[in-house]
Every structure is written in C-alpha cells, then in structure tokens.
A and B are shown apart, each in its own frame.
Chain A
C-alpha cells in the first residue's frame, strides 16, 4: 500500500476544507439551527409528541441525516470532479497509487468532513432540545457507515459529471427530496396507508429509521432491515466504482 500517497490526498482534501471552513461547516450549522427554530420551537410546540418523543427531539436524527447525506455527496463529488476539471488529475493518474487507494483517500476525507459536521450539528441540537442517545455505538455505526457510503456515491457522481450542472443535480434533485420524503420530519405512521407503502420504496427512509432507533428506540422499519439496506447501498456503490476504474470510465481514454 502507498500510505504516503493516500495521506497526501487525504491531507490535500482536508486542507481544501479548512480553506472553505465557513462554507462547508458554518453554513450547514446555521441552516440546521434554522430548522430547529422553525420546526422545533415554533411549529413543534403545537405538534403532539411523536411516539413519546417531543417533536424537536424527534427531528434531530432526520436533520442530521439530511446534512450528512447532502454534505457527503457534494464534498466527495467536488473533491474528485475539480482535479478533472482543471486537469491536475494527471498527477494522480501518473502516480504509483492504486485505484483502491485513491478511493479510500478521497472518500475517507469526504466522510471525515461529514462526520465532523454531524457531530457539530448534534452538539448544536443539544442546545435546543433534550437529547438522549439510547445506543451510542449503533449511532456511531450508522453515522460512519452512512457518511462513507454517500461519500462513495458522491465520488461516483464526481467521476460521472462532465459539467458543474450535473455535479449539482443529484444532490439537489435526488438526495434532498428523498431525505425530506424519507421521514426526516414525520413518522411513517402519520401518512395515509397508500403513501406508507410508497414511502417504503425510498431507500433513505431505512437510514433515517435506523438512525432514529439508535437515539430513541423508535423506528419505522426493523433496525436489522436498516443495516441490511446500508449494506446494499454500499455494495452497489462499490460495484460501480470498481467498474469505473476497471474501464477507466471518464478518467483514462
């Protein structure tokens, strides 16, 4: 393994993050705070408890997932797209690093960023609502695995995209709606029976449900199903990345 090579890419990505700290850290914290103020405090005070948990507290896992998913995807996508766009990718391609090492470094950096962000949002949330984490280890497991899986998805998008529009389109038009409709702000039980069935087709529902279970032991689907679903996502993403590198898709002509 070329550890120095992986470390160089990882550090490069983290340095990029540090340079844009305001954009990548402060702005998600501010927007999460706004969610809490609006949905938690203002509207939430008029909403009854959901399965024994105050609405504000109920929101925390969903909001965390919202930031985690969008930030993982955008960060990782930009991280690999930008060197392709400006041409500095030549150095990565001509270096003695394997594809696995390249993926681990870029995806590892993107996942690190979103995990740090998640923890900051968690700390911010604890200011507004009484927070209880029933299964901290399970919570960490969901946090890390989700961050890693969606960073991998971002990496794929970053290689697939050949312009900035495509780079933005997936986070905006796919991830955000899926998270909103995946039970971030409500329990599936609150929906009419037909829409309950439809919601089950939304993969993000399983992530949020499992994640919420690790906080409050309440879930829309059994926690085992949630873990299995993350496993499926991860496998699909890994398979796509493997195929991309095998064929040199959009990296090597």
Chain B
C-alpha cells in the first residue's frame, strides 16, 4: 500500500515482541534499557554540571583507545579493549582540563579541539592499519543492539551481564556520593569550602562516564550514546524540580523509550539503537509540550479569552 513505509503488521510489531520473538526482543529491550538508564543517570550530572559536551568527547575518544589497545596487545579481548577505551576517556578529560587551565581557551573550545583530534587519530590509525584492524565504521558510529544473542541461546549473554553490572555500579555510586555530587554540581565554591574534593568528584564523574561510554559503545556506538546521555535528563528536567525525582524519571524515560524504540524498529525494519533515540526524542517532545509546570500548553492556553474556547470539531 505505502511505498515508503513497510505495511503495518499488528502481530509482528505489537504482539510478537512479547510472545514469539521474546527471547530476542527481550535481550534487545534489556540491553537498550541498561544502556539508556545507565547513560541517563550519568547524563543527569553532565547536564547539571554544564558538561553535556564531555559526553560527546569521551564517547568519540573511545575509538582511538580501542585501536591503540588492539595494536599494542594484538587481541580483541574484552579487557584490553575496555582498558584502552577507559584510558582514552580519562586522557580526554585530562587534556581538556589542561588546555582549559593553562591557556585562555575556554572549556567548550578545548573540548572541541581535544575530541575531534583524538577521533581523527583513531580514524588515521584505522586506515593505516586497515589490514590488521577489522572495524566496521557503521558499527563504530551507531552500534548494533541486534547483535546480542537471544536469551534462550544458553545463559545470559555476556554484554547484558556487563551492562547490567555497570548500571548497578552507577546506581550504587550515586546513592553513596549523592551529597557530594549534589553540592559540587550546584555550588562548587561552597563544596570546596565544606571540604568536598571537587577535583576528585570531577575526575570520578569522568571516569564513570568513560566506563559507561565504553560499555555502551558496542550497543549504541559513539554518536547515539550522546543522545542516551542527554535525552533522559533533558526530558525529566522538564517534568520535575527535585534531583532524586529527576533520577527516577530518567530511568522511566529509559524504559519507555527502549520499549517504544524496539517496537518502532520492528515496524520500520530499522536498526534498534537509532529507533530508541527517536522514541526518546519523541518523549522529550511530549514533555516539552505537556510538562505540568513549564509545558507549551500552558502558554497556548493563556492567551485564549475565557468563554471563547473553540468548539470541538468532530
């Protein structure tokens, strides 16, 4: 019927993901949720600390980290890859800070200089050693959740275990250091005068960000992870004015956008990670329009004079 979009098959898109396809879609949904929730929680703090761009920077520097780790160790073992990418993430943070502190280049510009350079080094290395490095450019940029083994293929897939552990780790860290994170994000001057080590808090946040970016890399790639970092926080920030609730809503946003995204991917036959981002952006749009305190609908409603409400056309 429609040439551009595949025909809508109710069973395939709505019912089957929860029945026949469940071993596969369940794994996708869990992975999508783990990635989006973890990124969302860390992203809450990036946003509040005005460091949203650092998410972009760290996720891109993962590429040279992976390539260099591969060239040094000669293996594609999980730990070597993980360490390489983690070190690259921390190096990015240190370089950004150093440029920003030692010169008059402002932080946003120093982020821009750093991560593009590192990413370019990664690209150069990949092309120079293309015979040895087997990296799929599309996978690097967008990742692929669909590569995860289905749940019924013998045990829980390793990527799920990894991402789940990172999520639990992030939740624990936020619970333990909530006070320090809150005060150093809101008022760094007061935090330091209270004896909170804001440098440690900053680097701690960046190390966690690097770990999250590396873990999510395989599933969502270097670009889409930025959306996962920012969308949940941006959406929940429109809906609440308390940090703890913002965390809760970010997790809800992660769950909803993942479920909607998987259905969307099935309906369109698209990749899953981008579909999750599109769904998440849709939720952001809804929050923008319908937020109870700052939604657009409040502004649309106000100019209307009382008694002149347009009649509902049927």
> Does B associate with A?
no
> Residues of B with Cβ closer than 8 Å to A?
none
> Residues of A with Cβ closer than 8 Å to B?
none
